[in-house]
A and B are shown apart, each in its own frame.
Chain A
């Protein structure tokens, strides 16, 4: 059972501003049924077109998603658009007295929907949907590099786990975790070239050797086997299996499912491991 604050429970059990505004000035949508949560915001400005006079939400999601949406509408009612643009997911979470770490993405969803609704009013983009800007990093949940970087910056995140808690990225198949690590490794100001600069063969060999010595060999030795690095040509890595592993009927599986996987994770995603007997 989640440890929700009294304020989360209150906004979940008695959500404020539920519904759709007729003839709204701006509409924003984020999420989908497949992802497990979705939020639709619509707002109307006052007569001078300065402040948010009325805002309503519809949410598909868990208790904290509903509470975050409700809280967001309370926070921004009466705000100027400029002030509303500065509302972050942190403001939503703080308003609710905090959210469980794994539920922080609910507050991020609120901020994104607000952004999409204001963009819609200001005529940025054509649809009311939250626009995916830049490269999609997490394909399972459709999370872009920009979203990840923004959320890291707003919340001072430092680990992959935190990024997953806040954006969901990396929370399903886990394939994008190395990319998230790369994003975490460089500051948002740094150019991306640095991150994608190809490795020299020397760097590659060094990294492969380290990974084999520190990670792969100890695991294999634990099972009475051993491994020796023979050669590295580009992304092709040749090894020899020794001890119990040589001649083991499952050695091919060990090679692809363990050795190659570890090297791909630690060194480069395109590495191919070959065995010589």
Chain B
């Protein structure tokens, strides 16, 4: 396989070799069902419990508060739908305009079931409109769901403060922390959210495993009904190898995050600074806000994102774009639109998201190769004689 420079870690990450190694026994010899009575099954249950404790340790919550799911999207669905199913009097939902589709489309689909949905906006820097949020927390609201870190821009919302505002009104608070877990410290003893979603493949576990933290005492109804698994809260035989993998990934993040984050943010900052310096008419979106350490979202005026991505692809460089053309829809990124980024910058946005597996040499390569790509496309463009 061709060597790639992988700078799309908000899309998915490389499974850590330690994670894969930890999973292997459960894909081969140790295939017992954790619900079985004999020790060939029961011993496996101990591994599931260990993984639960590893996830809980990373978040500083108790293991019984962790429910394993199949992915971040399922966690989000379970939180929002499960809460509405359990809430008799209240049916409204408060969320934000910049959520991941897993939340946004879930909330919007609940409108046809009669839920009032308010989507709180953001400003040009991607910061949440706290006044609008405050005004939206009415007595009919069953759940507020506000993401921790944005997948496109990396902008971090002040979740502790938001959770306090929401809880004060007696409203259940959920956060989609899929992009934040493993990248920023999360202490659920201090941040009073009721529910939190995470996804394994964003923190070097494989795809197909996620978790939902549900704080003790939070009323949600089961969304995936079935057997007694996960203390009757999520039916379905436990995905043992992947649960073990997620546990290991959380343990690695817990032990190594601090050092990794420094390395990652140094590379990110250099990449961003150099690209802005070398390419005229270029801006970074959300850079005035607190951000995830690994993400930068840069708009190159006068050129279109898909064309940039495909020219980078020729060199093995992987990134993503908020341009309409890459998604199959005809609309550019809903996040950048919510930020009111001018249309001249919408279609040429590129997101780089790093991981600790990236190297300074890879960053050098992008800094060397991308400016000529931008120039080449601007030379083709009818608008781009700006440099």
Residues of B within 8 A of A257 (CB): 111-112
- B-side contacts of A103, CB under 8 Å: 325
Q: Which of A29-37, A129-137, A198-206 contacts B (4 or more CB under 8 A)?
A: A29-37
State the CA gap A38–B383 with chains docked (Å): 9
Q: Closest approach, in angstroms, between the C-beta of B104 and any C-beta of chain A?
A: 16
A78 interface hit (Cβ, 8 Å):
no
Q: Is A58 in the interface zone, CB < 8 Å from B?
A: yes
Does A44 count as interface, using CB distance less than 8 angstroms?
no
B380 pairs with A62, CB closer than 8 A:
no
Q: Which of B304, B331, B332, B379 contacts A65 (CB 8 A)?
A: B304
* Interface assignment of B231: CB less than 8 Å from any CB of chain A: no
Q: Which of A93-135 contact B (CB under 8 A)?
A: 102-103
- Size category, A interface: 35 or more
B264 CB contacts on chain A under 8 angstroms = none
Give A159 to B41 CA distance when docked, in angstroms: 54
Q: Which segment of A150-158, A226-234, A245-253, A267-275 sits at the interface?
A: A245-253
User: What's the nearest-Cβ distance from chain B to residue A249, in Å?
Assistant: 6
Interface hits, A131-178 → B, CB 8 Å: 141, 164, 168, 171-172
Inside 8 A of A171's CB, which chain B residues have their CB? 329-331
By secondary structure, the A interface counts as: mixed
Do A59 and B382 touch (CB < 8 A)?
Answer: yes
Given known contacts A59-B381, A62-B323, A164 and B330 CB-to-CB distance under 8 angstroms? yes
Binds B, one of A11-19, A47-55, A84-92, A189-197: A11-19
Closest to A61 in B: B304
Judged by a CB distance under 8 angstroms, whether B174 is at the interface is no
Chain B residues near A12 (CB, 8 Å)? 307, 310
- CB-CB contacts of B177-210 with A at 8 A, as 1s and 0s? 0000000000000000000000000000000000
Contact with B along A53-77 (1 / 0, CB 8 A): 0000011111111100000000000
Complex interface: chain A residues within 8 A of B89 (CB)? 249
Q: Give the residues from 12 to 35 in chain B that come closer than 8 angstroms, CB to CB, to chain A.
A: none
Would you call B310 and A172 a contact (CB within 8 A)?
no
Q: In the complex, what distance in Å separates the CA atom of A66 from the CA atom of B307?
A: 9
Which residues of A are found within 8 Å of B379, using beta-carbon distances?
Answer: 18
The complex places the Cα of A37 from the Cα of B305 at a distance, in Å, of: 11
Whether B114 lies near A251 (C-beta < 8 A) is yes
Known contacts A18-B379, A36-B324, A168-B330; A61 and B307 CB within 8 A of each other: yes
What distance in Å separates the Cβ of A81 from its nearest Cβ neighbour in chain B?
23
Instruction: Give residues 340-362 of B contacting A (CB, 8 Å).
Output: 343-344, 346-347
| Closest chain A residue, CB of each to CB of B344 | A33
Is there a chain B Cβ closer than 8 Å to A39's Cβ? yes
Per-residue A-contact encoding for B303-337, CB less than 8 Å = 1, 0 else: 11111001100100000000111101111100000
Any A CB within 8 A of the CB of B384:
yes
Q: Which residues of A contact B111 (CB under 8 A)?
A: 253, 257-258
Encode contact with A along B77-102: 1 for CB under 8 Å, 0 otherwise. Answer: 00000000000010110000000000
Residues of A within 8 A of B314 (CB): 13
> Whole-angstrom distance from the CB of A196 to the nearest CB of chain B?
27
B113, B115, B380: the one within 8 Å of A58 (CB): B380
Most chain B Cβ neighbours within 10 Å, of A102, A245, A249: A249
Of the residues B91, B140, B344, B382, contact of A40 by C-beta under 8 Å = B382
B148 part of interface (Cβ distance < 8 Å): no
Q: Give Cα distance in the complex from A168 to B324, angstroms.
A: 11
**Which residues of B sit under 8 angstroms from A15, Cβ to Cβ?**
380
A141 vs B302: C-alpha distance when bound (angstroms): 18
Contact with B along A198-238 (1 / 0, CB 8 A): 00000000000000000000010001000000000000000
Q: Which residues of B contact A245 (CB under 8 A)?
A: 114
Closest to B330 in A: A171
Give the docked Cα–Cα distance between A2 and B326 (Å): 8
In the complex, A254 has a CB within 8 A of chain B: yes
- Known contacts A36-B323, A40-B382, A59-B380; A141/B112 CB under 8 A: no
- Interchain Cβ contacts under 8 Å between A and B, 12 examples: A15-B380, A18-B379, A36-B304, A36-B324, A60-B382, A63-B307, A103-B325, A171-B330, A219-B112, A223-B114, A248-B114, A253-B115
Q: A33-B344, A36-B323, A164-B330 are in contact. List 11 more A-B contacts (CB 8 A).
A: A36-B325, A36-B330, A39-B382, A40-B382, A223-B113, A245-B114, A248-B114, A249-B140, A250-B91, A250-B140, A253-B111
